[in-house]
Structure 1
Amino acid sequence: MEKGFGSLARSAGVSAMALVLGMLSTTAHADAAADAESGTAPATGIAEGSDIVVTATRANEIAPATSSLEARQPQSIVSRSLIEDSLPATADFDQIALITPSVSNFGGNNGIGLGESKAQIRGFQDGEYNITYDGVPFGDTNDPTHHSTTFFPSNTIETIVVDRGPGNASQLGQASFGGNINLFSRAARDDFGGQLKASYGSFDTWLLRGLLNTGAIDALGGTKLVVTGQYVDTNGRSSHSPYKNYNLFAKAVVPVSPDVTLTLLGTYNHNKFNQPDKDGSTLYQQSLYGKHFSLNDDPTTEQYFGYNHTTKTTDFEIVKLEAQIAPGSTLENRAYTYYYDNETLSANDVTVWDKSTLSTTLADGKTKVAGDVPGYTKTNKYRVYGDIAKLKVQLAPIATLTVGAQIEWSRTYRQQTDVDLTTGGFNYVEKAVTAPPPPAIATNPGEKTPQYIKFDQNSQGNNAAEFVELEIKPVPGLSITPGFKHVDYNRKIFARWNQTTRYAQNLTNTYDANLPFLQANWQVSPQLSFYGEYARGFLIPSLTSLYVANPSFSNVVPERSTNYQAGFVFHGDHLSVDADVYSIDFKNKFASTNDPVFGTVWTNIGGALYQGIEGQVTYAVTQDLGIFANGSLNRAIEKTTRLQVGQAPKYTAAGGVIVKHGPIRFSLIDKLTGPQYANSPTVPGPTDSAATTAQNRALYFAYRIKAYNTAILAASYEIGPFRVGVEVTDLFNSQNVVTITSTGKTALNQIGLPLNTNFDQYYYQPGRAVSGDITFTF
């Protein structure tokens, strides 16, 4: 049921923004809020844009990733200096986060930042953790997954904070489950300045970027503005896979009064690229054309680049109001909206190679036309609106109360239509469907669905969360914070032709959860602290659970996690080290089954246990030279089979050296991703025979992915206002498999063989790439 603050706000049609504006009118003479998110960076410059303060030691200033003494859960803070000094300018946020313990990723086989990638945290997949931007969670509306090249290229990011845990009660999002990747926007600075960058490198990759900080403008009451934009154009690593990106970003920080700060932020992003909707190539195709084969220039095949292209357009806006309403008490509100539009044309199956099998049906739905290429158009676009309000009140010198709420609603349109790519007409290839009578839920029983329609649907989301935290400091150095969060998620489908069922349906489902947590931090000394956390996590089912004849026949409930973790942080003058252990019990795994009476139904089966140890250390050998290492041992086992879950590396490790000496910047960083399996083990069903169980286990082990490493060398030299740099990614040209998409059509004895009957798609590291750049700073 919809309840609490979210339901009230939606029914009244009143935004929390309006309420805050009214309250702020009475606070004209309070002291200014000091939240670093307003654009005022901490003195160290390590975690700019965030509200995290990091001890200013030489080890922390040179470290590629560090943690705060105030941490209450395992975290890694990645500063802008790593982005500027050690990574190619095209790097996406998954590549930036990769330097941290327990983080792995795959994708990006077209080149770093030149194709979408997916990150994993402790084996939790994209969609099982949150990503936020300046405190606003974002993601797709059918499930909370993300697109690494779509919203926020690296020119829009100042700092990344990877929280390896569900966070506290005020950490919001639909996947408060496996962790959080928190992105923070570029800082608006007090002084005028800027930067122009031009880069060129492998795969004929061009990048042009500019940034301008106006500094405090006296004529506008001290308003600060930062603007940045970039253009990327590349042929890409994969064959016939060009990619273009345009991005614009602007943020204004306006001191409304001595006590009130208004921040206005907006970014626009536009991508165009050639890629099949289900990209990747088979071993047989690679045996003919190389492991980085993707598309070709032959219009008689499904791999023709003209049949496989996508345009993505996004925008993201935040209006944030902050005020200090009393000593130690602050009020903050974020109103936000973001938009995503994916328009794709794709061939049906780029793994098909024998041209004689390519065919499409004509208007009569029966006659095949040999040689015509089947494909489809796809649209996925949504607009999300939301508001987050937070009030922090110091009740006493030892107690601070934080209360707040989030309301969010979304509107989505999605469609797929079968087409004949050769002629441009419809492809009447779908099965004939007539909308059934009850107990199925069909808006128009008896209506026949056109055989070129896969689906055409509108959906809505209405979400709310209310949270409370009480920070208690009973003795100096000790902070204990219990908290509680209640969440409500309601989804509705208004489908002309619903996905999977392919007839008209209006459906809805609602989920809610109560999520307690407890955190503690004990700063034993100015250099050493210990922390611990207990937290409950929550993940709502995908919109897929409504792609059924009657959702009431399903009994699916949200996935839940119970998290325990503890660790320490030490910051000495030359040594920075932190480490932690964790144990996460995950249950209610989503699964669908085909019931002989009710058809497709959704339920929950089994779960998994995630346990491990993580750590990161940096040692400043001198003021100019630092060495670092981090790593993790990650156990993520399915409870029934006791086998490692899919796409969950068993360990990660990173290490390297960083030099910052006068005009010289040099780094050599290597990240090792441990062995993993492409698929999760199949949980035996109650009717599965011993032979079936053995076959499933054999299939699981057949898709093992070996450990692989990625080394990046970067060097630059400043000459006056100019900086000349070079970056070499995948220094040792380690073109290993990073993931495999198994189709289920490949026989066990053919897995891993370059046969035309093996339809599995393999993805590789893109291989060595070199880029050079010139940066002018003013």
Structure 2
Amino acid sequence: MKAMKASFCSGVTLTSMLMVAPAWAQATPEATAPQKSDIAEGSDIVVTATKANEIAPVTVSLATTQPQAIVSRSFIEDSLPATADFNQLALITPSFSNTGSNGGVGVSESKGQLRGFQDGEYNITYDGVPFGDTNDPTHHSNTFFPSNTVETLVVDRGPGNASNLGQATFGGSVNLFSRATREDPSATFRAAYGTFNTFLGRAMLQSGSIDKLGGTQILLGGQYVRTDGRLTYSPYHQTNLFGKVVIPIGPDVRLTLVSTYNKNHFNQPDNDGATLAQVAQFGKTFSLNNDPTTPQYQGYNYTDKTTDFEIVKLEADIAPGTRFENRTYTYYYNNSTLSAADVTGGTPNQVTAADGKTKIIGHVPGYTKLNSYRVYGDIAKAIIDLGPATLTTGAWIEWSVTHRKRYQYDLTAGGPAANAFDYNQKTPAGVPKYINYDQDSRGNQQQLFAELEIRPFENLKITPGIKYIDFTRSVNAIANQKTHAPAIFSESWDDTLPFVTINYQPIDGLAIYAQYARGFLAPPLDVLQIQNPAKNTVEPQRSTNYQLGFVYHGSHLSIDADVYSIDFTNKFQSKKDGAGDTVFYNSGGALYKGIEGQVTYAFDNGLALFANASRNYAKTKDTRLQVANAPFMTAAGGILYRHGGIKASLIDKYTGVQYGDDAQTPDYRIPGYNTAIVSLGYDFGRFAVEGTVSDLFDSTKVTNITVNGAPYDQYYFQPGREVSISLTAKF
């Protein structure tokens, strides 16, 4: 069988590759003559090029050591809306679900769940660099990497080995890989228009290999999106710029530069979602209005977000059998928000006058909010071939600087509130009452790792590993969040984690794998947002992971399945002590276990059928009830057809029953729902046309509930049917 590979992977490290030739042109365990492919391009994952794998929306590598799902660029390009965010790209994979996007696919933020682990409890990486917010490792799905910047997406449902990096690896990793450069010059332009007056314009320019620059390849891209949005008075605008340069420096060294810039502007409350009373009065599409006497006024609720992300990657074969990789990176996030204090109707329209006593009735209370951070980091790795074994060792260092503030605002008067509007906010002497918080914080972490891939005989790889983690948080605040008081606090945590993985391929096309791993997640910034952190007894959250599975790739049939068990301990909790101060501690945890599988069968005529499913238990240890926002199951299936210029697909993802709270309160039961997408296109060569219908059956069921206490709970719904048509020109 043929096999394909490309340049880099954080999810699966193929350390058994020999280092005689350059790292990007090596033979691999699945083939001796790798060829170009779009199956997992941009990653270092090798996938056997069978008919099933070439057309499947989701596949797996035979070299994997944990449950895995690879989503190719061809599926992203041909079967999904052009506006899709990375959670939409991952949704087709087993055990993955998402909530949000109630304003339209990719144009309002979504949150992903993986095996019941919530966003912030698993990693997301871009070209091997973990990223996330600095108060906890959560993510913003439409802020950094729209789909035009992603070549391949790989979901690793497990901690991997010691070289897998991130703050929350125990929940798994969603790995994004940047768009790939090409050897031949080209220009691609795409325009799409659809429901909600949504317009997308995209351009991708490839220089090809420039002989005068030693074969340097340059890719420049840009995307603009605007839409009125599904929700009332909630338009959205996005501008993205992307660049990548691959520079060969001699036969054994390569330098890659990647940069992306993103700017979003949208109208939305800071805490959005409609109450049942608002839904009954205005419908499921209600969000904002044009009435300045209400907190839902469009002019009182908007956000500007600006981000950038830069990576400098060096790959070098520094000696026979020795390869060195280094990634230096930085990324920036700036969120500037104006929002009403409460759009549920639970807070009266009044602010406090300058005398600190008089209530100005009818003025709408609100706030301005800033969250701005810059992160710097470096990942260094050496891979040394030792004959019957391969040693991989390295380090990850990262530090961040964050400024966060929130000031009370009189939205009616159009300026800062002279004092606090009534939050029952108590501030110490010397702190202006309009300051809710004004906080600087820093984060520093180091991870040292080593793993040894042992090959006792052909087709068997046993890889033990060890990782040391050290994490420090510090706060220096004029007014700390939640306490409103000045604060200078710092706290550190560390741990040493063992790993071992096995991959055995007894016959051609069949692999059996097993994994044992420990996980670690440092406490969030919340633990320093109290009066006296010395009262905390909180330790990092930890996990013990066991997984077993197999992968089979036949000429037309591809199958994989796995079982897993994860013991999650030291759940973060908070309470009031005898003095009335908040303190954090650990209590209980959760048990995650389940079974997952997927299958694809491809016919010779370009038709393929696929299905996947998962049964996921995510039970809290104290109550033995399913944790909030963790579906009991997921399932997906569909038909894909490619022949000549025709590209067609019908896919459907079912997200099972879940609850909006940990107590499984009947009122917070969220029934299962489907998300079906049909796509039909024809490629004429120079030009192509494609039509896509998302949420084919126009479902507007509940996907999430923010529990504020009835009647102020906020509900989120599927956005309903969206239709778009796109035209592509290629030169």
TM range, smaller chain: over 0.9
Q: In the alignment, is residue 384 of structure 1 matched against residue 375 of structure 2?
A: yes
Q: In the alignment, is residue 359 of structure 1 matched against residue 365 of structure 2?
A: no
Q: Give the match for residue 638 of structure 1.
A: 620
Question: Are the aligned partners of 2:20 and 2:321 in contact in 1 as well (CA < 8 Å)?
Answer: no
Distance 2:219 2:46 in 1: 22
Q: Give the match for residue 218 of structure 2.
A: 225
Question: 397, 400, 414: which is aligned to 1:407?
Answer: 397
Distance 1:302 1:434 in 2: 25
AA at the equivalent of 1:565: Q
Q: Give the match for residue 727 of structure 1.
A: 692
Q: Give the match for residue 93 of structure 2.
A: 100
Distance 1:759 1:499 in 2: 24
Question: Are the aligned partners of 2:427 and 2:433 in contact in 1 as well (CA < 8 Å)?
Answer: no
AA at the equivalent of 2:538: V
Q: Give the match for residue 286 of structure 2.
A: 293
Distance 1:194 1:583 in 2: 47
Q: 1:437-456: per-residue Cα shift (whole Å, max 9, x none)?
A: xxxxxxxxxx4321111000
Quote the offset at 1:586 in angstroms.
Answer: 0.3
Structure 1: which 5+ runs fail to align? 1-28, 436-446, 682-696, 747-757
Secondary structure of the 2:47 match is coil
Distance 2:309 2:257 in 1: 11
How do residues 48-447 of structure 1 correspond to structure 2 at under 5 angstroms? 48-352=41-345, 357-396=348-387, 398-427=388-417, 428=419, 429=421, 430-431=423-424, 433=426, 435=428, 447=429
Distance 2:671 2:658 in 1: 7
Secondary structure of the 2:289 match is coil
Scaled by the length of structure 1, the TM-score of the pair is: 0.89
AA at the equivalent of 1:710: T
Question: Are the aligned partners of 1:194 and 1:213 in contact in 2 as well (CA < 8 Å)?
Answer: yes
AA at the equivalent of 1:53: V
Distance 1:602 1:218 in 2: 60
Question: Are the aligned partners of 1:212 and 1:226 in contact in 2 as well (CA < 8 Å)?
Answer: yes
Question: Are the aligned partners of 1:652 and 1:671 in contact in 2 as well (CA < 8 Å)?
Answer: yes
Q: 1:593-613: per-residue Cα shift (whole Å, max 9, x none)?
A: 001226110001110000000
Q: Give the match for residue 690 of structure 1.
A: none
Q: Give the match for residue 583 of structure 1.
A: 565
Question: Are the aligned partners of 1:433 and 1:449 in contact in 2 as well (CA < 8 Å)?
Answer: no
Distance 1:561 1:167 in 2: 13
AA at the equivalent of 2:686: P
Q: Cα distance 1:515–1:706, how it changes in 2: closer, same or farther (>3 A)?
A: same
Q: In the alignment, is residue 508 of structure 1 matched against residue 463 of structure 2?
A: no
Q: Give the match for residue 542 of structure 1.
A: 524
Q: 1:295-317: per-residue Cα shift (whole Å, max 9, x none)?
A: 00000000001000000000000
Q: Give the match for residue 7 of structure 1.
A: none
Distance 1:452 1:166 in 2: 44
Distance 1:659 1:49 in 2: 24
Question: Are the aligned partners of 1:532 and 1:567 in contact in 2 as well (CA < 8 Å)?
Answer: yes
Deviates more, 1:132-141 or 1:449-458: 449-458
Question: Are the aligned partners of 1:44 and 1:54 in contact in 2 as well (CA < 8 Å)?
Answer: no
Q: Cα distance 1:314–1:163, how it changes in 2: closer, same or farther (>3 A)?
A: same
Question: Are the aligned partners of 2:448 and 2:467 in contact in 1 as well (CA < 8 Å)?
Answer: yes
Distance 1:80 1:61 in 2: 11
Question: Are the aligned partners of 1:35 and 1:51 in contact in 2 as well (CA < 8 Å)?
Answer: no
Question: Are the aligned partners of 1:58 and 1:623 in contact in 2 as well (CA < 8 Å)?
Answer: no
Quote the offset at 1:214 in angstroms.
Answer: 0.8
Secondary structure of the 1:295 match is coil
Quote the offset at 1:431 in angstroms.
Answer: 4.5
Q: Give the match for residue 14 of structure 2.
A: none
Question: Are the aligned partners of 2:38 and 2:74 in contact in 1 as well (CA < 8 Å)?
Answer: no
Q: In the alignment, is residue 667 of structure 1 matched against residue 649 of structure 2?
A: yes
Q: In the alignment, is residue 709 of structure 1 matched against residue 709 of structure 2?
A: no
Question: Are the aligned partners of 1:584 and 1:609 in contact in 2 as well (CA < 8 Å)?
Answer: yes
Distance 1:206 1:328 in 2: 51
Q: In the alignment, is residue 556 of structure 1 matched against residue 538 of structure 2?
A: yes
Q: Give the match for residue 487 of structure 1.
A: 469
AA at the equivalent of 1:740: I
Secondary structure of the 2:534 match is helix
Distance 2:220 2:272 in 1: 35
Distance 1:216 1:426 in 2: 56
Q: 1:506-556: per-residue Cα shift (whole Å, max 9, x none)?
A: 000101111111000001112101000000011111100001111111100
Quote the offset at 1:622 in angstroms.
Answer: 2.4
Q: Give the match for residue 776 of structure 1.
A: 729
Q: 1:279-335: per-residue Cα shift (whole Å, max 9, x none)?
A: 011111111111110000000000001000000000000000001123332100000
Distance 2:292 2:152 in 1: 45
Q: In the alignment, is residue 624 of structure 1 matched against residue 606 of structure 2?
A: yes
| Count of paired positions | 704
Distance 1:632 1:294 in 2: 34
Q: Give the match for residue 574 of structure 1.
A: 556
Question: 434, 446, 450: which is aligned to 1:468?
Answer: 450
Secondary structure of the 2:78 match is helix
Distance 1:239 1:716 in 2: 31
Question: Are the aligned partners of 1:432 and 1:448 in contact in 2 as well (CA < 8 Å)?
Answer: no
Distance 1:118 1:147 in 2: 8
Q: 1:245-293: per-residue Cα shift (whole Å, max 9, x none)?
A: 0000000000011111000110000000000000011111111111110
Distance 2:661 2:425 in 1: 33
Question: Are the aligned partners of 1:521 and 1:532 in contact in 2 as well (CA < 8 Å)?
Answer: yes
Quote the offset at 1:41 in angstroms.
Answer: 9.1
Quote the offset at 1:238 in angstroms.
Answer: 0.6
Quote the offset at 1:31 in angstroms.
Answer: 4.1
AA at the equivalent of 2:727: I
Quote the offset at 1:128 in angstroms.
Answer: 0.1
Quote the offset at 1:42 in angstroms.
Answer: 5.3
Quote the offset at 1:353 in angstroms.
Answer: 7.4
Q: 1:100-156: per-residue Cα shift (whole Å, max 9, x none)?
A: 000000000000001000000000000000000000000000000000000000000
Give the share of equivalent positions with the same residue, in percent. 59
Scaled by the length of structure 2, the TM-score of the pair is: 0.95
Q: Cα distance 1:207–1:41, how it changes in 2: closer, same or farther (>3 A)?
A: farther
Question: Are the aligned partners of 1:74 and 1:164 in contact in 2 as well (CA < 8 Å)?
Answer: yes
Q: 1:672-728: per-residue Cα shift (whole Å, max 9, x none)?
A: 0000001123xxxxxxxxxxxxxxx6xx33210000001000000112311111000
Distance 2:322 2:702 in 1: 52
Question: Are the aligned partners of 1:635 and 1:644 in contact in 2 as well (CA < 8 Å)?
Answer: yes
Distance 1:198 1:595 in 2: 58
Q: Give the match for residue 442 of structure 1.
A: none
AA at the equivalent of 1:369: I
Q: In the alignment, is residue 596 of structure 1 matched against residue 578 of structure 2?
A: yes
Question: Are the aligned partners of 2:346 and 2:712 in contact in 1 as well (CA < 8 Å)?
Answer: no
Secondary structure of the 1:219 match is helix
Quote the offset at 1:44 in angstroms.
Answer: 2.9
Distance 1:140 1:66 in 2: 30
Distance 1:518 1:432 in 2: 51
Secondary structure of the 2:415 match is coil
Quote the offset at 1:174 in angstroms.
Answer: 1.0
Quote the offset at 1:434 in angstroms.
Answer: 5.4
Distance 1:584 1:118 in 2: 22
